[in-house]
Structure 1
């Protein structure tokens, strides 16, 4: 650490991913670095965005020095590989700086910066590290004030919202029966967790112990082989059915629609053959890069048929969906927290297009389109329905005792345009939205939560009691 009276030393590393709007990310990162310098600190670290393994390697030597403050600018979303490579052995807290979404309404997520901080935080807290969150753009006075305080030794709050203690289900036996009904069910997994997606890692023995769930896993090549084996007549029938349900498919490249149909048939048949109760799929990079298709709409079709589906092979996310469904939630959706609107105390919850069309604000207008980042078909592009909602998530318990913990939140999905390409819900929370986002990040919770449109909080609390897992409810 620097001595008293000396110029403060700040390590700044800006991370990003090439699939987002890199020129905007770079411009925001440069403005962030300039602000720290304007505040009188001496800034160290690479001046360019860190996006590749080579970039990470070049940044590592900076970690050998002492700094008054360490700032990771999440200039855009990226997986948590850079966070773990750079900070897993760092004793001092990392200040994660997220920017507001700059793109126009209805466009893609340009940065997805907040979600990037959320994923970084999960990985680092899981590894025993400490994080803080700063949300806002370099030209905001409040951001400059928070940053000035951080440079001088007063970091943003690491405190989380105080958990609430809500009512339990009146029929405890019914909840127990629902959990017992999960015993012996089978969870289908396609491939491994995407690189750097720590929330997608899981313990199969824990699933067996707590829920009695069995895992049926395919490699990505085995899944592709099943897709190749789909008969042309089956593919044609699925295309006809999908186009009848969503005529907007006529605007998508026909070859991509055909590949999507074959993917749907293969996953559906696999699910039926193995009696799968939920499916979690590694949806990238191999599907778009090797097969020229995004499986989002396939997951949507299967979800509409009653089988919960989770992208990014998020196992605990899929288990959360399965548990919520068993407790009476109806259809659910796995979402990222991507934006914060303090004007109406809301967060925007989003994912890139695999929501069941039954969850659309208007199911008749559940548009199917190309994927927001990959620009190939097929993914949904429609806002999610309005009304009271519950957010929940099973995840690792980081208190050293092992096992799982359960996150619960609630609010109301309010009428709003589809703010980002894919599926978006704007949710006005029951608690302070800024504090909720801060708690989500500093608490090391996953970037994925599960959104449901039925209030099953009493059942969720009771289920956690019966399972012997702690609840964090805001």
Structure 2
């Protein structure tokens, strides 16, 4: 801030974003505490006091004098898609601080806020689609470190966006085997259901780039087309699938029979489409239409297909599905698409989660991989179990702001702990500073989804990136070679 700014109270616009499917009472309380702390620290605070959740709320926020502020603080009171980020900040020169909170709920509850994931999604949209550099503040208003960071931000010293690493590990000894794996992807077809969900910028993709780099074609149908396939499943076939799912996981009996029956028909319809169209992987627009119009969630269907060897990605995440396909072609075994939802910097742990579509083979104890209702929608059927422990790799193909794709790679160890959040959770102690990793995810515009694998295929993955001409950004404890 300028010398003139130092002579007056810094002008701060606070925009608290949220989504109605989360704990909005807790989100509103945290947002009010955040605003009060900024005022206590001497800021002249304006902006809506109510949560910004609807299109009308967003348009009222867009009328605020954002350009006249010294700092805009987007309080990610709960998860939100990236629509507010693009509507409010895409053309704004004022610095933007994304403030996300810790998860307050008890072990085993749904994510009350999913605030960090919301900030991650905002960061991707602003960096990749607007060329902006957002700054992340993580923690609750009562924390001393948060208070200090806010005081510095009001004085013009925003949280530092960590530098991206410039070195990567060793390549595969057998480059020929990697080329064979890449060749095995060519000619495959990825099945897409629906368009990208609104405000989910990582779910957008370039079909020409997909064909050029990987030789993967796309077959896309609408959500309505999929619903027609579900409706056409013969009653006997749906009953047979329900019986098979119940035999595999007896806990399914606790889910309302009508919802579980609909989910069984979804599984049968997706399996039939996969077979008829010779699909090698699938990316599904899993909400809002499945719960709101069909009356069931497709998480368990994606899990059933994944257990049968078909990579499945929710939220119609195309590059996520391609990352899964690449890893599995390189020998990773079954993988899972996850959000980064929680950071414990003292323990160097991030918690990776999604709402219940993991293959049951990835459970810490597959025999106890229970099935339940979806954590937010309260409809069946979704898995509810912790993920497998042991060494893990995180990877993600995503847009490079410089053009083309880039590859994010990290690694660590999945630790044994109770299922922290309803759905599927892994607590991963990273090989790199966890706070820097999370800060880079947001500040450098990486997607909220990464792919988790339990076999270390990093040497082959690096070689594959070399073959494809894709730059690697690797968070590693022992990088050994400059990225060319």
What is the match of residue 454 of structure 2? 453
Matched-pair contact (CA < 8 Å) for 2:290–2:296: yes
What is the match of residue 409 of structure 1? 410
What is the match of residue 420 of structure 1? 421
**Which secondary structure state, in structure 2, belongs to the residue aligned with residue 437 of structure 1?**
helix
Distance 2:314 2:258 in 1: 22
What is the match of residue 97 of structure 2? 95
**Which secondary structure state, in structure 2, belongs to the residue aligned with residue 11 of structure 1?**
strand
Instruction: Choose from 213, 216, 227 the match for 2:216.
Output: 213
What runs of 5+ residues in structure 2 fail to find an aligned partner? 476-484
Distance 2:164 2:391 in 1: 21
Deviations 1:113-162 (Å, cap 9, x if unpaired)? 00000000000001111100000000001100000000010001023342
Does residue 167 (structure 1) correspond to residue 173 (structure 2)? The answer is no
| Superposition pairs of residues 219-234 of structure 1, within 5 angstroms | 219-234=222-237
What is the match of residue 374 of structure 1? 377
What runs of 5+ residues in structure 1 fail to find an aligned partner? none
Q: Where has structure 1 moved over 3 Å in runs of 4 or more?
A: 1-4
What is the match of residue 107 of structure 2? 105
Give the RMSD, CA atoms, in angstroms. 0.9
What is the match of residue 351 of structure 2? 348
The alpha carbon displacement at 1:94 in A equals 1.0
The alpha carbon displacement at 1:369 in A equals 0.2
The alpha carbon displacement at 1:344 in A equals 1.6
**Which secondary structure state, in structure 2, belongs to the residue aligned with residue 336 of structure 1?**
strand
What is the match of residue 41 of structure 1? 43
Distance 2:461 2:93 in 1: 36
**Which secondary structure state, in structure 1, belongs to the residue aligned with residue 122 of structure 2?**
helix
Matched-pair contact (CA < 8 Å) for 2:351–2:426: yes
The alpha carbon displacement at 1:63 in A equals 3.5
Distance 1:168 1:429 in 2: 21
What is the match of residue 8 of structure 1? 10
| Superposition pairs of residues 310-321 of structure 1, within 5 angstroms | 310-321=313-324
Instruction: Choose from 39, 56, 59 the match for 1:57.
Output: 59
What is the match of residue 442 of structure 1? 443
The alpha carbon displacement at 1:65 in A equals 4.1
Distance 1:324 1:104 in 2: 34
The alpha carbon displacement at 1:315 in A equals 0.2
Distance 2:464 2:159 in 1: 35
Compared with structure 1, are the counterparts of its residues 64 and 141 closer, same or farther at alpha carbon in structure 2 (3 Å cutoff)?
closer
Aligned length: 472
**Which secondary structure state, in structure 1, belongs to the residue aligned with residue 16 of structure 2?**
strand
The alpha carbon displacement at 1:60 in A equals 1.1
Distance 1:293 1:4 in 2: 55
* Structure-1-length-normalised TM-score: 0.99
What is the match of residue 462 of structure 1? 463
Matched-pair contact (CA < 8 Å) for 2:283–2:314: yes
* Structure-2-length-normalised TM-score: 0.97
What is the match of residue 284 of structure 1? 287
Distance 1:10 1:462 in 2: 47
**Which secondary structure state, in structure 2, belongs to the residue aligned with residue 62 of structure 1?**
coil
Matched-pair contact (CA < 8 Å) for 2:162–2:436: no
Does residue 250 (structure 1) correspond to residue 262 (structure 2)? The answer is no
The alpha carbon displacement at 1:64 in A equals 4.9
Matched-pair contact (CA < 8 Å) for 2:67–2:93: no
| Superposition pairs of residues 288-327 of structure 1, within 5 angstroms | 288-327=291-330
Distance 2:436 2:213 in 1: 31
Matched-pair contact (CA < 8 Å) for 2:134–2:443: yes
The alpha carbon displacement at 1:6 in A equals 1.1
Deviations 1:92-120 (Å, cap 9, x if unpaired)? 33100000000000000000000000000
Distance 1:360 1:158 in 2: 34
The alpha carbon displacement at 1:66 in A equals 1.2
Distance 1:468 1:26 in 2: 46
Matched-pair contact (CA < 8 Å) for 2:164–2:473: no
Instruction: Choose from 31, 34, 41 the match for 1:32.
Output: 34
Matched-pair contact (CA < 8 Å) for 2:340–2:449: yes
Distance 1:80 1:347 in 2: 22
What is the match of residue 366 of structure 2? 363
Does residue 133 (structure 1) correspond to residue 136 (structure 2)? The answer is yes
